[in-house]
Amino acid sequence: MTSYVVYSVIVLVVMFFASAIRILREYERGVVFLLGRFWRVKGPGFILIIPVIQQMVRVDLRTIVMDVPSQDVISRDNVSVKVNAVVYFRVIEPDKAIIQVENFYDATSQLAQTTLRSVLGQHELDEMLAERERLNADVQEILDQQTDAWGIKVANVEIKHVDLDESMVRAIAKQAEAERVRRAKVIHAEGEMQASEKLLEAARTLSQQSQALQLRYLQTLTEIANEKSNTIVFPLPMDLIDSLTKKDNGA
């Protein structure tokens, strides 16, 4: 009977010490409470906890990648879109993450959803599509300020997709096509204007030098002669006609 009691005591002592031992990894910290009050943050490594009197909550310090579910957002120009994002954050103060908020992961997720809707709703659709980096920075800054009281650092926010209705996609495609046509017409008109200016300069130069005009005339004849045509229209310079007219009058 005595040996049985001794054996039971040994077992209880072993179980007591076994329940008091905690091993925390390098990326883990233990928030220790003493009789319900916060005592200290321990870890990593070998930790001893007094059973019943002390309790410990493990906190992971690694960066957490959290998907933000797709959110229905109405832009400032009244376009309905669905937007989803991903948030990168980590716990930097384990005691605040446990004491100041009930579940820091769910709290951060809900805050990210509401912030995403709020920030994107202040911008037009074109800004959502073209200025995504600036919107990411705005959402990240707001989240980081809000979660600072929870001991959480929001490192980055990335908007992954901005999904539009099929009707809106067709409307944007028509708008883009119209813009391309407008640019093509503007470029063509600018080319015509530049060509007319160059032709005007060339005409002024040729009018000032009669020799240059004759050289241009001979070059034109050479180009016509090289063409495979049965009919050749031979232009007659006005200077030649004037000289012949003067000779006839003199005669």
Question: What pLDDT, on the 0 to 100 scale, is given for residue 126?
Answer: 82
Whether residue 115 has pLDDT greater than 90: yes
* Alpha carbon distance 208, 235 (integer Å): 20
Which whole number is the average pLDDT over 16-28? Answer: 85
| pLDDT score at 207 | 65
- Identify the band that residue 198 occupies on the pLDDT scale cut at 50, 70 and 90: confident
What pLDDT, on the 0 to 100 scale, is given for residue 230? 55
Across the range 48-53, mean pLDDT stands at 87
Exposure string over 2-17, b if 16+ CB within 10 A, otherwise e: eeeeeeeeeeeeeeee
- CA-atom Rg of the chain in angstroms: 42
pTM (2 decimals)?
Answer: 0.65
For residues 229 and 248, what is the distance between their CA atoms, to the nearest angstrom? 35
Q: What is the maximal distance between C-alpha atoms in the chain?
A: 162
DSSP tag of 150: G
- Is residue 88 within a helix (H) or strand (E), and if so which, with residue range? strand 80-91
C-alpha torsion angle, residues 51, 54, 55, 56 (rounded to 10): -110
Section 141-156 average pLDDT: 94
Confidence of residue 113 (pLDDT cuts 50, 70, 90): very high
Average pLDDT over residues 153-166: 86
Instruction: Give pLDDT, residue 182.
Output: 80
Residue 25 binned pLDDT confidence (cut-offs 50, 70, 90): very high
Mean pLDDT of all residues belonging to the chain: 81
State how far the Cα of 234 lies from the Cα of 211, in Å rounded to an integer: 19
pLDDT given for residue 179 in this prediction: 72
CA 39 distance to own-chain centroid: 44
Of residues 144 and 6, more confidently modeled: 144
- Containing 236, the helix (H) or strand (E) segment is none
Split at pLDDT 50, 70, 90, the class of 7 is: confident
How high is the pLDDT of residue 11? 72
Mean predicted confidence (pLDDT) in 61-79:
89
Closest to 171 (Cα-Cα) out of 86, 78, 241, 103: 78
Q: What is the mean pLDDT of residues 135-141?
A: 93
- pLDDT value at position 105? 94
Q: Where are the domains of the chain?
A: 7-60, 64-164, 170-243
What tokens does 122 get?
A: 């202040």
* CA 219/CA 101 separation, integer angstroms: 89
The end-to-end CA distance of the chain, in Å, is 162
| Amino acid letter for position 146 | Q
- Cis amide leading into 235 (omega within 30): no
The closest alpha carbon to 94, from 43, 157, 35, belongs to: 43
Which one of 3.40.190.10, 3.30.479.30, 3.40.50.300, 2.30.30.30 gives the CATH number of domain 64-164?
3.30.479.30
